[in-house]
Amino acid sequence: MLENSELYKAYRDMKLIREFEERIRAEYQQGKLPGFIHMYRAQEAIAVAMCMNLTDQDYIASTHRGHGHCIAKGCTVEDMLLELCCKDEGICRGKGGSMHIADMSKGMLGANAIVGAGPPIAAGAALTAKTLKNGCVSVAFIGDGASDQGTVAEALNLAVVLNLPMIFMYENNYYAEFTKNPKPDGRIAERAGAFGMPSVCIDGSDFFAVYDAAKSAVERGRNGGGPTAIEAIVPRYYGHFEGDAQHYRERDEVKSSRAMSDPIKIFLQDPRSEGLSKNEIENMDNEISELIETGLEKAYSATEPSYEQLFTDVYVDYKGH
């Protein structure tokens, strides 16, 4: 049973991700943000339910679709907006952008623009936890597209062989970029299970289902029980990247997947969240809007990185040449 304070946090984080994404999407469509952005809408319950089981000392490695993971792990909206605008004060000083937001103080080891590159890195963080015996766990978020990468298989295997405190959190939205993934639900979890770890397939739109699965996986990891894989099914709401017209999807399919995948609505309709007050939720909504507007204003008016910044932080120290 979750306390009311936890339920409020769950609601707030999911809503914050949703509003953050909708707002930056609108800005992006007006050409105000550089590069690529990949929307997380409809997957909010996965990031939030997973990260509510983690502390700042636990690690996550994220994906190109990473805004939701960042927010759920505690990165501030203000820092993220500065980074999305690639400003000098950005969390990565404008050198990472949307696909590389990282915050070590929150155990956020980076979004990643290489599909499937995160799990080996997360395995390394889990190895640190195991070596230092600090009771921490490490989570790799993985898309269904990435599940076909060899790096993910290598990380699964290494996690089992070294009995790492690690969770493979798959988000199966059925599309590997523009190509429908022909796997039946549960195949990804089965595959992970075949490496020798417990695995489950759950409804990723259901906050409580993800929370329960994440909780037992994190407990297993903390108690030396090794890695776990969770496959969360959640239809993709928008395109692969913002601006993707999705000609490869039937209109009806997009419509029906949108209708059935609103984790926030599902959360609020669940009897387990009936203790939440409407007023309080409204207040939260207002705070969230304000937070995003203030962050956005600050980001737009912040300074661009200077010429010198091009050359800094390639190395800690580099003498010669």
Partner 1 sequence: MSSFSLTFTWIIRDINMAEISIREAINKTLHQEMARDQSVIVIGEDVASKHSGGVYGVTLGLSDKFGSERVIDTPITESAIIGAAGGAALTGLRPVAELMFIDFLGVCLDQLMNQIAKFRYMFGGNVITPVTIRTMIGAGAGTGPQHSQILYPLLVSIPGIKVVAPSNAYDAKGLLTQAIRDDDPVVFCEHKAIYDELAEVPDEEFVIPFGEARKVCEGNDVTIVAFSRMVLFAEQAAKKLSSEGISVEVIDPRTLSPLDDKSIIESVKKTGKLLIVDEANPYCSMASEVSSVVAEKAFYALKAPIRKITSPHTPVPASPTLEAFYVPSVSQIEDLARELSNY
Q: How far is the CB of 254 from partner 1 (least distance, A)?
A: 32
CA-nearest of 95, 39, 81 to 63 is 39
Provide the token pair at 225: 């029980």
Q: Tell me the C-alpha distance between 24 and 32, whole Å.
A: 9
Query: Exactly one of 9, 32, 100, 215 binds partner 1 (CB under 8 A); which one?
Result: 100
**Cβ closer to partner 1: 76 or 157?**
157
Q: How far is the CB of 220 from partner 1 (least distance, A)?
A: 20
**Cβ closer to partner 1: 79 or 144?**
79
Q: How far is the CB of 11 from partner 1 (least distance, A)?
A: 30
Query: How would DSSP label each residue in 107-166?
Result: TB----SSTT-HHHHHHHHHHHHHHHT----EEEEEETTGGGSHHHHHHHHHHHHTT--E
Question: Binding to partner 1 (CB under 8 A): which residues in 121-160?
Answer: 121-132, 138, 150-151, 154-155, 157-158
Residues 268/7, Cβ–Cβ less than 8 Å? no
Give the residue carrying structure tokens 């993707």. 244
- Regarding 317 and contact with partner 1 (CB under 8 A), the answer is yes
Q: Tell me the C-alpha distance between 28 and 286, whole Å.
A: 22
Q: Tell me the C-alpha distance between 40 and 62, whole Å.
A: 12
Q: How far is the CB of 140 from partner 1 (least distance, A)?
A: 10
Question: From residue 189, how far is each of 65, 173, 203, 230 by CA, in Å?
Answer: 20, 14, 13, 6
Candidate segments 33-41, 244-252, 278-286, 313-321, binder of partner 1 by CB under 8 A: 313-321
Candidate segments 2-10, 23-31, 103-111, 261-269, binder of partner 1 by CB under 8 A: 103-111
Provide the token pair at 213: 């699965």
Query: Exactly one of 3, 252, 308, 313 binds partner 1 (CB under 8 A); which one?
Result: 313
- Regarding 303 and contact with partner 1 (CB under 8 A), the answer is no
- Regarding 95 and contact with partner 1 (CB under 8 A), the answer is yes
- Regarding 117 and contact with partner 1 (CB under 8 A), the answer is yes
What is the number of H-type helices and E-type strands within the chain? 11, 7
3-state secondary structure of 35: coil
Q: How far is the CB of 191 from partner 1 (least distance, A)?
A: 16
Checking phi first, is residue 97 left (phi over 0); if not, alpha (psi -120 to 50) or beta?
left
- Regarding 104 and contact with partner 1 (CB under 8 A), the answer is yes
Candidate segments 63-71, 117-125, 227-235, 238-246, binder of partner 1 by CB under 8 A: 117-125
CA dihedral sign, ordered 94, 95, 98, 101: negative
Contact map string, positions 39 to 78, toward partner 1, x by CB under 8 A: --------------------x-x-----------------
Residues within the interface to partner 1 (CB under 8 A)? 59, 61, 90-96, 100, 102-104, 109-110, 112-114, 117, 119-132, 138, 150-151, 154-155, 157-158, 161-162, 312-321
